[in-house]
Structure 1
């Protein structure tokens, strides 16, 4: 389950030299029978040094359950909520406010990411969320990507009268997400689709492979495969009677912006693209920037940040080599042992290595967005958040401004106080994604809507 945004593009840092802390309230979500459930773990160490805590699922019951057993070793944790047969095993990511792991309850098992919260309040306020009845038509659709052997399901919204309409495809960021790009109770693509449809656009948003009714290879799929799905979405739109075939565009967030660049560079049906927190810098360099930014807001010293940067560069250089997977895995383990002061890697550390060997990760390291951007000939809207620690704004804006593009119609917007999800933020740290009641900044939606209307009139 390669879930959640692209914060969770995998950046690794193995460090056993300093203590980690698990104190606090941790919140995450898991999908059960198509429903997203909020789960909360509140844990603390008492004066005797013993760990204790409570677990709750506030969307199901107001009751809090005792966590009967908590085991912690270095950066790893194991929790047992015996009354309901629930287990959670995970580890602290580089950012000490993010925990990655697996939840099990009976036969059910799911990957789950927990984010440290500043308070134990379990309610979620999502002030922009959208619910029926709608003032427009919403149609359940499905389309095939024959080239990629995938079937995608989604929603097509369009005004009830008039047409044909200019149309856009919304493209999710990294990880398997549903058509609403739903995360932590936020549904930003549903909010955006609602705004654009009310302003005269047809909007197609779809579930990624392996989510909802969408089917297709996931474990071996790369950004290029997901671009093939988006390409099929454009072709599908071009055949709909309600769509003006000469006014089709794409809006992508994070990796979805990169996908929009790829598709627009080769599909002449795409007439404009909007890039929301889209990477401009090559994948390996972007991840190093991301690791630095996350570490900085997490409180790491400059010395530690420099060490992490050097260590990550060595790991990525290995992964960029054209060697068989077995050889790469051996080289990675050798390098990590050296970075771990010569100590052998624990089984837990070895498990963390496996995502680095995935086709998606190795491909992402190699992709240079500039290569595709230079081939795009249509208008570009590129927006960045000044508090974004996943696609740092300054470096990516600088790179975009200095590219020799095939189009002069480029609008770059920098929103100093917005994070990677385009929420108003204090620091850009990951826990703010969860706590923030804003799902998609109103000013950005206004600017984007005005730009889209200008390009489709």
Structure 2
């Protein structure tokens, strides 16, 4: 995968200085024929050191299947559920409460992330999910991005009546996501679009490249390429009769917020932007800060965090050099061998390296959001979660406040108990994204809607 879903930025740590365990209940989702299925792996190590466990797909059956074989080596795992012909291979990542990998059943294969759960309870509660019938209009739409050679599909919702209406484009964060920004059963953009449309806005949300009906290059694409898709979305809106062309804005989440800044700096049709967990720090600095926050939330010692920080800085310095990919790969491998106590890299370690060499990752390291923010003359709404471990609030708010902007119309909101996905949370750790029944905090939606109305009504 070029990037794993919903804003995980790659973090490499080959040290085995702290304990790694697969004990517990692990939950993930896979999309089959357009339907999201919850899958659960329950793992336990007995007193003799042997592993056993069960697998279940609670949306299909209440039956639990024995995991017939479990192989573990360092931070990597392979599981086989022979009764149903299903296998999963993955590795622990981040704060050791997330597994990245893939599953296979027959001819079906899919990348899948598993998140450690506090309990084995099956099923999900998503109290904010939205279903028809609606008291507004919704239509499937599609548009081309000729500049980026992509084709995007999405949904346009708008109030009943003649219009024209103020309109916003919703832009996803990192990784390929659908128009609802769907993850772990949450559909935050669906919830947000419903709320905004009921409050008088036309809302366009679209599937990222190679998701749903959308098409376009992904593996070689960068943030700049995805910004060209959002630019095309704005141009599409500007041609709709139901849209007030003088009242078009962009709402972006995480990398989508960075994309909103890029588009607003280029496209005069954008009259305002809302940045949700938007990075202000330069890419390499953000990733180092992010790794620290995730590691600290996962219980790493300050000594281990300091080592990780120094190691990551060395890796990023290499990746930002203007050298041929082959030379960079060789230099990177030498540095990682050094960081791995001069031990050769294992095959699974090499697999983890490939995303670091991707155009997206190397570009993201170099991008400085301040460059685009300083060009903006439109109103800005910037919101941050105080328990966000992916775009930590304090440092990014401080950086935004210190920028000399061309606009004085800037609203900064800090929500102390919200995480990166704007859910009320205890710690901000990744596994809470999955367990939380909240998809998008209502107070933030209300604050955002009031601000949008002030700028457009």
TM-score category of the 2 structures, normalised to the smaller one: over 0.9
Contact 1:19 1:74 (8 Å CA) reproduced: no
Look up the match of 1:403. Answer: 403
Look up the match of 1:344. Answer: 344
Spell out the pairing of 1:108-257 with structure 2 (5 A cutoff). Answer: 108-257=108-257
Whether 1:3 and 2:21 are equivalent positions in the alignment is: no
Look up the match of 1:383. Answer: 383
1:9: Cα distance to partner? 1.4
SS in 2 for 1:290: helix
Distance 2:14 2:384 in 1: 30
Distance 1:222 1:11 in 2: 18
Distance 2:152 2:9 in 1: 23
1:17: Cα distance to partner? 3.2
Look up the match of 1:71. Answer: 71
Post-superposition Cα deviations, 1:62-112, rounded to whole Å, max 9, x if no partner, equal: 111110000111111000000111110111003110111111111111111
Contact 1:3 1:177 (8 Å CA) reproduced: no
SS in 2 for 1:426: coil
Whether 1:327 and 2:327 are equivalent positions in the alignment is: yes
Post-superposition Cα deviations, 1:290-335, rounded to whole Å, max 9, x if no partner, equal: 0000000100000000000000000000000001111111011100
Post-superposition Cα deviations, 1:224-275, rounded to whole Å, max 9, x if no partner, equal: 0000000000000000000000000000000000000000001000000000
SS in 2 for 1:365: helix
Contact 1:180 1:189 (8 Å CA) reproduced: yes
SS in 2 for 1:265: helix
Look up the match of 1:366. Answer: 366
1:4: Cα distance to partner? 1.3
What are the ranges of 5 or more consecutive residues in structure 1 without an aligned counterpart?
none
SS in 1 for 2:405: coil
1:48: Cα distance to partner? 2.1
Contact 1:153 1:213 (8 Å CA) reproduced: yes
Post-superposition Cα deviations, 1:338-366, rounded to whole Å, max 9, x if no partner, equal: 00111111111111100000000000000
287-296 vs 60-69, which moves further: 60-69
Post-superposition Cα deviations, 1:409-449, rounded to whole Å, max 9, x if no partner, equal: 00000000000000000000001000000000000000000
Runs of 4+ aligned structure 1 residues displaced above 3 Å come to none
Look up the match of 2:317. Answer: 317
Distance 2:297 2:439 in 1: 22
392-401 vs 155-164, which moves further: 155-164
1:52: Cα distance to partner? 0.3
Look up the match of 1:261. Answer: 261
Distance 1:437 1:163 in 2: 35
Report how many aligned residue pairs link the two structures.
Answer: 456
1:46: Cα distance to partner? 1.2
Distance 2:355 2:4 in 1: 12
Contact 1:16 1:340 (8 Å CA) reproduced: no
1:162: Cα distance to partner? 3.3
Look up the match of 2:287. Answer: 287
Distance 1:302 1:373 in 2: 33
1:37: Cα distance to partner? 1.1
SS in 1 for 2:266: coil
CA RMSD of aligned residues (A): 0.7
Distance 2:20 2:139 in 1: 49
Post-superposition Cα deviations, 1:30-58, rounded to whole Å, max 9, x if no partner, equal: 11111111110000011222100001111
Distance 1:175 1:58 in 2: 27
Distance 2:118 2:367 in 1: 37
